[in-house]
């Protein structure tokens, strides 16, 4: 699923499960902002409008909220977002984000796989306190 039908590996590249690049994946707009400009705020390049850095998938299943702005609250919602092909109405959506046509079993399997990328021992690791 990860390497095949769901195409996750296109952006979530081993070994750290990110390509460290910026993509516009059609994330739903949250809050009163007209649009979330993302990478454009740094580069002022229209091609970067709405692009955000691809996160690693390690421990992502244990997050309380998903996407750069917390727009989604369940891993199943993230999978459905990608399954629908993001949001084609979003200006500048990455052409790699296309409908996946995953069936219910595929979605359950993908969510189960995502949960295997979680290591509870990493929860004990925290940033050092600064003076």
Tokens of 5: 């039908």
Q: Does the pLDDT at position 117 exceed 70?
A: yes
SS3 assignment, position 48:
helix
Q: Which residues have a Cβ under 8 Å from the Cβ of 56 and sit 6 or more positions away?
A: 12, 16, 17, 18
- Using a pLDDT cut of 70, give the percent of the chain over it: 92
pLDDT band for 64, please (50, 70, 90 cuts): confident
Please name each of the domains of the chain with its CATH number.
Answer: 8-119 (1.10.760.10)
pLDDT band for 65, please (50, 70, 90 cuts): confident
- How would you class 8 by CB atoms within 10 Å of its CB: exposed for 0-12, middle for 13-18, buried for 19 or more? buried
Q: Does the pLDDT at position 29 exceed 80?
A: no
| Residue 78 vs residues 8, 28, 84: alpha-carbon distances, Å | 12, 11, 10
* Residues 27 and 94 sit within 8 Å (Cβ to Cβ): no
SS3 assignment, position 75:
helix
């Amino acid at each position: 699923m990860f390497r095949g039908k769901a195409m996750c590996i296109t952006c979530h590249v081993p070994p750290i499960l990110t390509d460290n690049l910026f993509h516009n994946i059609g994330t739903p707009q949250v809050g009163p902002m007209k649009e979330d400009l993302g990478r454009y705020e740094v580069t002022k390049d229209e091609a970067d409008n709405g692009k955000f850095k691809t996160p690693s998938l390690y421990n992502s299943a244990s997050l309380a909220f998903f996407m750069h702005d917390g727009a989604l609250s369940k891993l199943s919602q993230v999978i459905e977002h990608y399954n629908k092909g993001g949001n084609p109405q979003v200006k500048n959506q990455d052409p790699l984000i296309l409908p996946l046509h995953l069936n219910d079993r595929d979605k359950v399997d993908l969510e189960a796989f995502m949960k295997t990328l979680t290591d509870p021992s990493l929860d004990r690791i925290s940033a050092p306190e600064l003076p």
